[in-house]
Amino acid sequence: MLVPKMRIDIRPLCDKHLVEMEAVSVKAKMGGSDEWAWPAFRCFMQGCARSFDSGGYTTISNGSIDPASRNFIGCEEGAMFIESVQGDRLIWRCSIAGCERSRTTDRALSALALP
């Protein structure tokens, strides 16, 4: 599978807390029992398991990605991350290297209601 290159110089905001996430290597099981590790961003608020990678925002619980938790806004090639908050609006930016596209959504679209 060809995975478009995610920029590593980005500073995504947690879609639940709207605080800056930190770059980490996330480990999770992808369907089977094999554990995979890949570069991602993780929210460090206490009790928050949100992470962001090239597939968008997800919650990792018990070492597995919860598919129902996925929050994906993207352009053709990849996921967008929340770059900043401007009043009631969220500014999203494409995470793929070389793509400068952005979009604006209502703040209510963030995953504030997620567990």
Q: Is 73 in the site for Zn ion (CB under 5 A)?
A: no
Q: Is 17 in the site for Zn ion (CB under 5 A)?
A: yes
Restricted to residues 21-60, the positions that interact with Zn ion (CB under 5 A) are 43, 45, 48, 50
Binding-site size for Zn ion (CB under 5 A) equals 13
**Rg, Å, the chain Cα set:** 13
- Beta carbon nearer to Zn ion, 5 or 17: 17
Point out which residues bind Zn ion (CB under 5 A). Answer: 14, 16-17, 43, 45, 48, 50, 75, 77, 94, 96, 99, 101
